[in-house]
A = this chain, B = another copy of it.
Amino acid sequence: LNIALLAGDGIGPEVIDQAVKVSNAVAKKFNHEISWTAALTGAAAIDAVGEPYPDSTHEICMAADAVLFGAIGHPRFDNDPTAKVRPEQGLLKMRKALGLYANVRPTFTFPSLIDNSPLKRERIEGTDLIILRELTGGIYFGERGRSEDGNTAFDTCTYTKDEVVRLAKLGFEMAMTRSKKLCCVDKANVLETSRLWRQTVQAMEKDYPEVTVSYEFVDAVAMRLVQWPASYDVLITENLFGDILTDEASVISGSMGLMPSSSIGVHTSLFEPIHGSYPQAAGKDIANPLATVLSAAMMFEDAFGLKEEAELIREVVNKSLAEGIVTEDLAGKNKAYKTSEVGDWLA
């Protein structure tokens, strides 16, 4: 198993370390050999070589069967979104270069953590949804610029039918393995790109007669995600809407520190926790590594087809929650374990 390891910034390296420990333990048990290749990204890469996604890192990712990613972002860039070189540019460059067209973001609940949710128990219980966010198109990658005097700015959102088909196909297929409900999220009452999305998905319905498709406007979904999250199953949407909705969805479960994600690509796939680089906690050995460990589980299952291995990781994570072998964010009044202690215990 040939894995590129992009630890990134902040708590990235610490949580990645635990996922490596756990992955190695699983590999040993099942007689797999993992070859890890570390590469620079984010602010760490800017410091080292002047850019956030260097060619050397790209080559390592292209040669890998999967990429395990930590987090990127550093506070020194926060108040200057116009800085010439920024960690996020590396992220966008990487997504485009690796063709990571579909970001898969599950939101589910852990029974023992349900009271961490900002939502009432009866609202959040039973929530198990997946948002599929298109990740290499839309307004993120369209033309943008300024007028000569700098006083007028523009951004362009573009989509092609093929981009929509590629993402929607994944959505339909995922819905088939779940409850056969698919929700296409758009703003087709205003945007031309949204109308293209809706027409394209409508035309695909006949190929998946068992899937019930609904079409909802993004503003309505932003509401219903808070009101009745358990009513959703698989949602598909474009890049910017997906950015907003996946983050909104991530906090409703109360288990943000545990949510894994994957990005499915043309050249390889990438697996990462959904939380950020949490710079305040960096170097303190207190960050919760479970989202990264669960991202490694997703990697075993989705990138390598190793379902049993993935299940074993999920089982031991559940066990750590049940036995209270957790970091301070989950410990409540009980003993809080260090990041590395949780990793050791899991391994």
Contacts and interface: CB of A to CB of B under 8 A. Distances in A.
Interface of A: 79, 81-82, 86, 88, 92, 118-120, 123, 139-140, 142, 144-146, 150-162, 187-196, 198-199, 215, 218-220, 222-223, 225-227, 240-241, 243-248, 250-252
Contacts of A158: 152-154
B244 A195 contact: no
A161 B150 CA distance: 9
Nearest to A219: B247
Q: How many copies does the complex hold?
A: 2
27 contacts: A79-B215, A81-B188, A81-B194, A81-B198, A82-B195, A82-B199, A86-B189, A118-B123, A119-B226, A139-B157, A139-B190, A142-B154, A144-B191, A152-B158, A152-B196, A153-B195, A154-B156, A154-B157, A154-B159, A155-B192, A156-B156, A157-B157, A218-B243, A218-B244, A220-B247, A222-B247, A248-B248
Contacts of A215: 79
B198 A226 contact: no
A246 B219 CA distance: 8
Contact of A226 (B139, B157, B189, B248): B248
A279 to B, nearest CB: 14
A189 B88 contact: yes
Contacts of A82: 188, 195, 199
A189 B89 CA distance: 8
Nearest to A151: B161
Nearest to A251: B223
Nearest to A256: B223
B227 A245 contact: no
A215 B78 CA distance: 9
A142 B106 CA distance: 34
A156 to B, nearest CB: 5
Contacts of A152: 158-161, 196
Given A118-B119, A142-B154, A219-B247, 20 more contacts: A82-B195, A118-B120, A118-B226, A118-B227, A119-B226, A139-B190, A140-B190, A144-B191, A146-B192, A152-B196, A153-B195, A154-B156, A154-B192, A218-B243, A218-B244, A219-B248, A222-B244, A223-B251, A226-B226, A226-B251
A13 B63 CA distance: 64
